[in-house]
A and B are shown apart, each in its own frame.
Chain A
Amino acid sequence: MFAFAAYGAVFTVIFVFLWMMISRQNRIEKKLEQIKNQLKDRNAG
């Protein structure tokens, strides 16, 4: 039981790390999209 709990905990910690990393990537992509739109609007204006 303790062994399963330990491996479960390890995978949970790694999952949290991956989730945080992917959230960070999504935030950057969103920011880049905003900059692109800003530049498009400026060129159109």
Chain B
Amino acid sequence: MICLRCSAKQSEPGVDRCSSCEEEFRPVSGLWGVNNISQLLLSIESLKSGEIDLDEFRERFDTFLELWEQFSEKWGLSEATVPEVFSLNRALDSVYGTSLQELEDSIEELNQALDEVDGLSHVDPAALDRIEDHIRLFCRRVCSACAAVFTKLESRGGDFASLLDNFGT
């Protein structure tokens, strides 16, 4: 996890303050622990309450966007969908295809959230509610798809039990 306020990488998981700028990390309802997603949701809450302004809010989303763009560039997601990146044969696609499409659909949720943030010209509670919904759905769908992929990989002989604990499965 990195601090979306100052971009400092946090060396320990589950910390309650940034090791660099001392920003407080608080869990948010419906999401376990603190991570980049909880920070995004908290920034929505903070903007609504007036704790931060729109510029600060944008900066936090921009920091997250940099992470996303690094990931997207590494995996070629600007030129291809998730199923296209892996182009699985028919046998593998029958096992993993649904999860890959779920990952693709989750990315669409994220893109919609980022588009909404881009279009914000003032603090618009309705737009912020939509952004929150997209971010929560993005996270939920990613976690669900990742847990499904790990479960299927485990059935081939891998040991992903501790990883699946990440998702409470």
Are A and B interaction partners? no
